[in-house]
Amino acid sequence: MAARTCVPGRVAHPASVLPSDGVSASAYINQIGQEPATALPANIALPLCHACSLLRRPPILSYDGYVLYNRRRPVTSGPIALGNLETVGNFVRLYDEHWFILVHVEIEAIAASVLRAIEDTRRALARDDRAAMAASLRRIEDALRRQIRTLKRIPQRMDPRLYHRAFRRYIRFFEDVTYEGVDRTSSRFRGETGAQSSILPVLVAFLKIPHRPSPLMDHLADMRRYMPPGHRAVIEEVEAMPAIGPLVDKDAFNGVLDALAEFREIHLGWAEQYIDRWTDDPRGTGGTPYMNWLRQLIDETRAFQSR
């Protein structure tokens, strides 16, 4: 078997783990063309585990390092948007991976409008201003519609065959991996996945969508461990807000639910086109049966609209 090599990463942000350590760890364990490795060498494992202990998250490259902090703006005064974004580090020399990352970055940037609208809703709740609450919901729907337009752009610069063959493997989960110099027991950690983004969990918490208890919901709760601590805190704050559904215009509330369901439906379509048709493995990069679970989230979001 050929010797394993490491991909040298570059630090994207001081608070991230796109660290050379995180990229090298994922490249070493999940090197394309070889069986997954079962031991991470100490020269990678030790700095990775140290960095992740400071960040209070599992020692593996996650969404924050691969997407949130893995970008720069050529025109610093310009927007965080496609056309003014570059990645800092990649696994392969293909524009397809660059595009995959930066589509997510633009979606995350648009989410700032969602957070501002949720904060405005909190203030409107304090003064029982229902018109202001409805206006905030319409702004959230508008932001979601913009995110949908961005998500639809995935095929413009990303080939399904290249995604599956050339770089998806690198962001896969770790299964029964020993971290040499750190721990003799083997570990399992979830790989980089959009489920580690805080955007949709914040919206589910805000809207109080009653997803039924299931292994899916346990998985999504576990995904919070891979988020930056500040993101976890925001989700918890929004969860503590009272339900606004009974207080606001139904059309405004249902408009947000409809946009959220549409976003999930497009995501499901890309999962089918870019992953499911190319592999018999039902697990996504996070290690879960993504096709069934994505459909459940859509159905339960749609069902909540009639309330």
Other Cβ atoms within 10 Å of 199 Cβ, number = 20
Per-residue pLDDT, 2:
45
Q: By the 8 A CB rule, do 286 and 190 touch?
A: yes
Question: What is the pLDDT at residue 216?
Answer: 82
CA pair distance 50, 96, nearest whole angstrom: 32
Q: What is the mean pLDDT of each run of 10 residues along the chain (307 residues)?
A: 42 42 91 94 93 92 94 96 95 95 98 98 97 98 98 97 94 94 89 94 97 88 95 98 95 98 96 89 70 89 85
- Check residue 276 and give its pLDDT: 85
Task: Please report whether residue 104 resides in a domain.
Answer: yes
Strand partners, 177: 187
User: What pTM was computed for the model?
Assistant: 0.91
Which H helix or E strand runs over 240? none
In a domain, 145, yes or no: yes
d(C-alpha 278, C-alpha 284), whole Å: 12
Q: Would you say residue 8 lies in a domain?
A: no
Q: Which residue has the tokens 């927007």?
A: 79
Query: Is residue 153 in a domain?
Result: yes
Structural domain of residue 98, as residue ranges?
A: 20-304
Alpha helices, DSSP H, located in 152-192: 154-157, 160-162
Burial class (CB in 10 A: 0-12, 13-18, 19+), 153: middle
Q: Which residues pair with 131 in a beta bridge?
A: none
Q: What is the pLDDT of residue 9?
A: 36
Alpha-carbon distance values, 146 to 99, 107, 111, 153, 257 (Å)? 17, 8, 10, 11, 15
Number of domains in the chain: 1
Residue 303 amino acid letter: A
Cα(52)–Cα(69) distance, integer angstroms: 15
Q: How far apart are CA 277 and CA 48, in angstroms?
A: 34
Is 1 within the bounds of a domain? no
- Look at residue 69 and give its three-state secondary structure: coil
**Residue 195 · residue 286 · CB < 8 Å:** yes
Q: What is the CATH number of the domain that holds 261?
A: 1.20.58.480
Q: How many CA atoms lie within 13 A of 123 on its CB side?
A: 8
Residue 232: inside a domain, yes or no?
A: yes
Q: What is the pLDDT of residue 214?
A: 85
**Amino acid occupying residue 259:** A
Q: Which residues have a Cβ under 8 Å from the Cβ of 137 and sit 6 or more positions away?
A: 117, 121, 244, 248, 249, 252, 253, 255, 256
DSSP letters, 188-228, are EEPPP-GGG-SHHHHHHHHHT--PPPSHHHHHHHHHGGGS-
Note whether residue 191 is domain-resident: yes
For 87, the token pair is: 């990645």
**Domain annotation covers residue 223:** yes
Which pLDDT score is estimated for 288? 66
How many other C-beta atoms can be found within 10 angstroms of the C-beta atom of residue 250? Answer: 13
End-to-end Cα separation, the chain, in angstroms: 59
